[in-house]
Amino acid sequence: MVDKDKKILGTLTVGQSPRVDLIPEMKQFVGADVEIIEAGALDGLTLGEVQRMHPEPGDYMLVTRMADGTQVKIGEKHMLPKMQGKIDWLVQQGAQVVALVCTGEFPQFECDRLLIEPQKVLFNTVKSVAQGQRLGVFIPDSEQVKQAKLRWSSVNGHVFVQPASPYGCPGGKLAAAERLKQAGVQMAVLDCIGYTLGDKQAVQGILGVPVVLARSVVARVIAELL
């Protein structure tokens, strides 16, 4: 029997759980009294099986990580049934709020609990403050540049996108920040839940402008709902 007074958050990554690189940082904002149950859409799959889900031309691409930290690219169409199944499982475990821990864009899932979609939270947060600003956007992979420009150009017409893997060496993120500084951005967003608080501090030190971090924005919203 689920304790009705207990706060339970279900988190779903499009990769594999547990997300030791992510959940401890989010817990700082959510609170120590919240139990977090993790699930991953790729849980139980081998790297070879996941690589067969590589995006085809025209697919919406997602970038995530395996349990050992290996970065993988996946076509979204392969993930949707797996994600729905994991959402159902998290609800069965007693989650009062279910949070996707990916800033990708998804169709509507079936869920009779509050479902947090980070892309909507992140996009609307940035949109509310970035109109008229030269906006820098960090994304995980160069193959996502087109879809990122399409998404963020609705904020304003001054969007500059730079790929830098959150799961790679720090040098790539710092180099991307230097390029965005040369572009004269006035605000930046780290558009992947994989970017860390440390990443934010590092790129903000180079840019000298406000930087929005997906995982902390989403975690703060979750804290308001539990």
- The proportion of the chain whose per-residue pLDDT surpasses 90, expressed as a percent, equals 87
The residue ranges of every structural domain in the chain are 7-118+217-225, 120-213
Q: What is the CATH number of domain 7-118+217-225?
A: 3.40.50
Residue 54 exposure: Cα atoms within 13 Å on the Cβ side: 7
* Domain 120-213 classification at class level: alpha beta
So what's the pLDDT on residue 157?
A: 85
Pick from 101, 128, 78, 106: which is nearest to 192 by CA?
101
In whole angstroms, give the CA distance from residue 162 to residue 173.
9
Q: 4 falls in which pLDDT band (50, 70, 90)?
A: low
In whole angstroms, give the CA distance from residue 214 to residue 191.
6
CB 77 within 8 A of CB 58: no
Q: 2 falls in which pLDDT band (50, 70, 90)?
A: low
DSSP string of 102-122, one letter each residue: --S--PPPP-SSEEE-HHHHH
In whole angstroms, give the CA distance from residue 49 to residue 183.
40
Average pLDDT value over all residues in the chain = 94
* 7-118+217-225 and 120-213 agree in CATH topology: yes
pLDDT tens digits, 106-156: 999 999 999 999 999 999 999 999 988 999 999 999 999 999 999 999 888
In whole angstroms, give the CA distance from residue 105 to residue 87.
16
Judge whether residue 5 has pLDDT over 80: no
Average pLDDT, stretch 49-61? 92
pLDDT tens digits, 10-34: 999 999 999 999 999 999 999 889 9
So what's the pLDDT on residue 32?
A: 87
Beta strands at 61-65 and 71-75: parallel, antiparallel or unpaired: antiparallel
- The proportion of the chain whose per-residue pLDDT surpasses 70, expressed as a percent, equals 98
